[in-house]
C-alpha cells in the first residue's frame, strides 16, 4: 500500500475540528490545537499535558476496571471514579446485612478498606509502529489481512509485554487502519474500596434521569491503588502499601462560571464518526431498534423481581444497570440520527467524494462496493442482534452455550482424559459463578420472551432447523402459552440448575448426555445455526468494510487535507484529551438550560420511598440546615451538584477528570445529554454536552454526609 502523503502528526497540526469536537491523542496535539486550547483559556505548558519523560497529567489518569477511567487525587494513591464504575465492586462487597450499595460505605482508616477484583492500568509508553505493521501487511486484504494483522500484533506485544502479568499492551488502529500505535501499560491489581455514597445519592434519578439534563446524580466512588513494599505492581497482600504516583490532581473548590475552560482526559471506548450512510441506515433501521426492543423485555422481567425482594435487587443490581444504560442510549441515538438526518448528511459527503474519485482507480468504486457489501449482509443483521441480545440475553442460555467447547472435545475420537477433566473443572467453576448471580424467575420469563420474539421477528428461513417445529409439537396445549411451557421445562430439567444431574455428568462426562440437556440443546441450536450459516457472511462483511473504510479515509486525506472537519482518530479506548468550556445551552425554542444544578434541585425531586428519587434522612436534615461547609457556591449559598461542558466524550470516559485551566480537578464526567446521543456517529457542535458531577458535591458527600473528612484531608485542595 502507498504511504499517506502527509504524516498523521502533521495532519493533526493543519486540520481543524468544529468547535469543541475532538478526542485528541495527547502526545500528538500539534501546535495549532495547543494554541486553540490556550485561546480557550488553558494556562498549562505542553509538557504539563503530556510528557514521555517527566511527570504530567497523563500520569494521574488510569484505566479503571474493564471499561472506565479514574484519576489519582492524592500522594497516597487515592482514586476518584464514577459510582457506576465501582458499582459491581460495591455490590460484590455488600450483603443484605451490610448493604454498602444501599447505605453507603466509608473506610474509617486504610485497614478498613475493602479488597476487590479490580485492576487499574497506568500508561507507560506509546510507540508509533505503523511502518512495522504496514510492511508486514503489504498488499493483503480481507481475511488474509486480518489474519496477518493479528499475527503482527501478537508478535509486537510478545516482544514488549511477554508473560509479565503486571504489564499489558495493545496495538491500536487509527484512522481505520491507516496508522498504528503501540500502548504499553503498567497493571496494578491491588485496588481497594475506600468509600461510596448510598445508591440513592450515587444513582439518584435512576433510569428516568439517565442521559438527561438537568441531572442531580452524585455519580462517584473512591478507591485506592496499592503496590508492593518495594514500589512495584502486586496482587493483594496485607503487606502492600499505598501507591506513590508520579503526578496527582489537585482538587479545586474555588468554583467556576459559565464559559470557563474545561478539559477532560480519559479512555473513550468507541466512536465511528467516519461511518458511511450505509452504516447509519443499518443502525437506525435494524440493529439499534432490535437492541432496544430486546433489552426492554429483559429489563421488565428483571425489574419485576427486583422490586419484590431487596436480596434480588442487590443480586441483579449491577447487571440491570449495565443493560439499562445502553438501552436508553441506543433508543436516544436512533431518534437523534433520524431527527438531524445524519443519513442525508453522510450521503452529501459521499456524493462529493464519488465525484472527486471519478477516474482514480484506487477510489472510484469504493461506494458501489459499499452498497454491494451492505446488500449482502443486511438480510441477516437482525438475526445476529436477536442472537446476541436475545438468546444470549438469558444468563442461563449463555451459560449453557459456554459448554459447546466441552462438547467439541468430547466428540473427538482421540480426546485426552486429562483435557476433559480440566474442561469439566473449568465448567464447574463457571457454573458456580453463574448460579451466584442467577435469578431463575426473571431469567425463565426472559427465555420464554426472547424465543418467541426470535420466532416472530426473524425471517423464518433463518430459524434453527427443526427447533420451532419440535417446540410446537411438544407444547401443543391450546390453552397454554407454548413458549412459557417450553421455558418452564428448560428451567425445571436442565443440569444448569440441577446439582444432582450436574454431579452425575461431571463424574461421567459424555456428549450424548450434554446434547439431551434442554438448556444446552436450546442454546446450541441457535449458535450452531448461526455459526454454520451466517457467521461466515458477517466475517466477510466486516473484512470488506475494513478494507473499504481504510481506502475511504486514505482518499479523504488526499482529497482535502486542509478542509477536513477534524483529524482526530475515532475513539478506541486509548488515552485522549478533549477541551471546551463550561456552557449552558438552548435545546429547543423558548428553552434554555443553565450550566449547573444544585442540591435544591435534588430536594425538589425527592419522593419518599421511590425507587429512583428517595434520599437518606441525614441528607435531608443537612440540606434543611444548610450545612454545606466550605463546599457551597458562595454566590448562591447552595452546593452545585452537577454541571455541563462542551467537551467531546463517549463511553469509557465514565469517571474521567474534568480539569480547569490550571490543571485542577473540578468534577467527574459521567454522562451525555439526550439531545446529542448521536455522538458516536456524528458530533453536534451546538447541542453536545458532557454532564459532570461537581467535585464540591463529591467532597460534601464524603465529609458531611459520610462523616469521612479524613479522606478530604488527604487531598490537595485549591481554595
Positions annotated as catalytic residues are 84, 219, 654
User: Cβ distance 585 to 592 under 8 Å?
Assistant: yes
| CA dist., res. 106 & res. 194, Å (int) | 6
The packing angle between helices 499-507 and 417-437, to 10°, is 170
User: Cβ distance 315 to 369 under 8 Å?
Assistant: no
Give the CB-side neighbour count of residue 186, counting CA atoms within 13 A.
Answer: 19
User: Cβ distance 63 to 71 under 8 Å?
Assistant: no
- Residue-wise over 395-429: b if at least 16 C-beta within 10 A, else e? bbbbbbbbbeebbebbeeeeeeeeebeebbeebee
| CA dist., res. 126 & res. 515, Å (int) | 48
Using omega within 30 degrees of 0 as the cis cutoff, is the peptide bond preceding 214 cis?
A: yes
| CA dist., res. 171 & res. 175, Å (int) | 13
CA-based diameter of the chain, in Å?
A: 78
**What do you get for the CA distance between the two ends of the chain, in Å?**
56
3-class secondary-structure state, position 78: strand
User: Cβ–Cβ contacts within 10 Å for residue 208, how many?
Assistant: 12
User: What single DSSP character describes residue 249?
Assistant: -
User: What single DSSP character describes residue 60?
Assistant: G
Q: Secondary structure of 566-592 in the HEC alphabet? A: CCCCCCCCCCEEEEEEECCEEEECCEE
Residue from 674, 682, 673, 650 nearest 69 by CA:
650
User: What single DSSP character describes residue 2?
Assistant: P
Vertex 166: Cα angle to 160 and 169 (nearest 5)? 40
The packing angle between helices 440-457 and 518-533, to 10°, is 40
> What DSSP string runs through 640-663?
EEEEEE-----TT-TTPEEE-TTS
Give counts: helices (H), strands (E), the chain.
28, 22
Give the CB-side neighbour count of residue 259, counting CA atoms within 13 A.
Answer: 1
Amino acid at each position: 500500500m502507498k504511504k499517506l502523503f502527509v504524516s498523521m502528526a502533521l495532519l493533526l497540526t493543519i486540520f481543524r475540528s468544529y468547535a469543541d469536537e475532538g478526542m485528541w491523542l495527547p502526545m500528538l496535539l500539534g501546535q495549532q490545537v495547543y494554541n486553540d486550547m490556550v485561546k480557550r483559556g488553558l494556562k498549562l505548558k505542553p509538557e504539563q499535558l503530556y510528557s514521555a519523560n517527566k511527570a504530567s497529567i497523563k500520569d494521574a489518569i488510569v484505566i479503571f476496571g474493564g471499561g472506565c477511567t479514574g484519576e489519582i487525587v492524592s500522594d497516597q494513591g487515592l482514586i476518584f471514579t464514577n459510582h457506576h464504575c465501582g458499582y459491581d465492586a460495591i455490590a460484590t462487597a455488600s450483603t443484605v446485612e451490610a448493604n454498602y450499595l444501599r447505605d453507603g460505605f466509608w473506610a474509617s482508616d486504610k485497614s478498613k478498606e475493602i479488597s476487590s477484583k479490580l485492576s487499574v492500568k497506568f500508561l507507560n509508553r506509546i510507540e508509533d509502529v505503523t511502518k512495522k505493521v504496514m510492511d508486514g501487511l503489504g498488499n493483503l486484504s480481507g481475511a488474509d489481512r486480518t489474519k496477518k494483522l493479528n499475527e503482527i500484533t501478537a508478535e509486537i506485544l510478545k516482544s514488549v509485554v511477554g508473560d509479565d502479568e503486571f504489564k499489558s499492551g495493545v496495538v491500536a488502529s487509527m484512522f481505520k487502519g491507516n496508522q498504528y500505535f503501540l500502548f504499553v501499560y503498567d497493571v496494578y491489581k491491588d485496588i481497594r474500596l475506600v468509600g461510596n455514597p448510598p445508591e440513592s445519592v450515587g444513582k439518584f434519578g435512576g433510569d428516568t434521569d439517565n442521559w438527561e439534563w438537568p441531572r442531580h446524580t452524585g455519580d462517584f466512588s473512591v478507591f485506592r491503588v496499592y503496590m508492593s513494599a518495594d514500589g512495584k505492581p502486586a496482587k493483594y497482600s496485607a503487606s502492600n502499601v499505598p501507591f506513590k504516583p508520579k503526578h496527582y490532581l489537585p482538587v479545586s473548590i474555588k468554583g467556576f462560571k459559565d464559559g470557563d475552560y474545561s478539559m477532560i482526559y480519559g479512555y473513550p471506548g468507541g466512536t465511528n464518526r467516519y461511518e458511511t450512510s450505509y452504516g447509519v441506515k443499518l443502525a437506525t433501521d435494524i440493529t439499534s431498534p432490535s437492541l432496544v426492543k430486546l433489552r426492554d423485555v429483559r429489563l421488565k422481567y428483571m425489574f419485576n423481581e427486583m422490586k419484590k425482594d431487596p436480596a434480588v435487587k442487590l443480586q441483579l443490581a449491577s447487571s440491570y444497570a449495565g443493560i439499562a444504560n445502553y438501552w436508553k442510549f441506543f433508543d436516544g441515538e436512533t431518534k437523534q440520527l433520524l431527527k438531524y438526518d445524519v443519513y442525508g448528511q453522510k450521503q452529501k459527503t459521499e456524493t462529493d467524494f464519488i465525484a472527486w474519485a471519478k477516474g482514480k482507480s484506487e477510489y472510484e468504486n469504493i461506494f458501489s462496493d459499499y452498497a454491494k457489501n451492505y446488500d449482502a449482509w443486511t438480510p441477516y443483521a437482525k438475526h445476529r442482534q436477536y442472537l446476541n441480545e436475545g438468546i444470549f440475553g438469558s444468563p442461563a442460555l449463555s451459560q449453557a452455550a459456554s459448554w459447546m467447547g466441552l462438547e467439541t472435545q468430547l466428540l473427538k475420537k482421540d480426546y485426552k482424559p486429562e483435557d476433559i477433566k480440566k474442561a469439566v473443572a473449568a465448567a464447574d467453576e463457571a457454573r458456580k459463578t453463574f448460579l451466584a448471580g442467577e435469578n431463575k424467575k426473571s431469567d425463565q420469563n426472559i427465555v420464554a420472551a426472547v424465543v418467541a420474539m426470535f420466532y416472530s421477528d426473524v425471517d423464518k428461513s433463518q430459524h434453527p432447523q427443526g427447533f420451532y417445529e419440535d417446540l410446537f409439537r411438544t407444547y401443543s396445549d391450546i390453552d397454554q402459552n407454548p413458549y412459557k411451557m417450553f421455558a418452564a421445562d428448560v428451567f425445571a430439567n436442565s443440569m444448569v440448575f440441577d446439582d444432582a444431574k450436574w454431579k452425575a455428568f461431571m463424574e461421567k462426562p459424555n456428549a450424548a448426555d450434554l446434547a439431551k440437556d434442554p438448556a444446552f440443546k436450546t442454546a446450541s441450536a441457535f449458535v450452531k445455526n448461526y455459526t454454520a450459516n451466517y457467521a461466515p457472511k458477517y466475517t466477510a462483511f466486516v473484512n470488506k468494510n475494513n478494507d473499504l473504510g481504510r481506502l475511504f479515509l486514505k482518499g479523504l486525506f488526499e482529497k482535502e487535507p486542509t478542509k477536513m472537519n477534524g483529524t482526530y482518530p475515532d475513539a478506541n479506548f486509548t488515552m485522549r484529551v478533549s477541551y471546551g468550556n463550561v456552557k449552558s445551552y438552548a435545546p429547543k425554542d423558548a428553552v434554555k438550560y443553565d450550566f449547573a444544578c444544585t442540591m435544591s434541585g435534588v430536594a425538589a425531586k425527592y419522593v419518599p420511598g421511590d425507587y429512583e428519587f428517595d434520599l437518606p434522612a441525614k441528607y435531608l436534615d443537612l440540606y434543611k440546615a444548610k450545612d454545606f461547609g466550605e463546599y457551597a457556591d458562595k454566590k448562591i449559598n447552595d452546593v452545585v451538584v452537577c454541571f455541563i461542558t462542551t467537551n467531546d466524550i463517549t463511553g469509557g470516559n465514565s469517571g474521567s477528570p474534568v480539569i480547569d485551566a490550571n490543571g485542577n480537578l473540578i468534577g467527574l464526567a459521567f454522562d451525555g445529554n439526550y439531545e446529542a446521543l448521536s455522538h458516536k456517529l456524528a458530533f453536534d457542535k451546538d447541542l453536545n454536552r458532557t454532564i459532570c458531577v461537581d467535585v464540591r458535591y463529591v467532597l460534601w458527600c464524603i465529609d458531611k454526609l459520610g462523616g469521612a473528612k479524613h479522606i478530604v484531608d488527604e487531598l490537595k485542595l485549591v481554595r
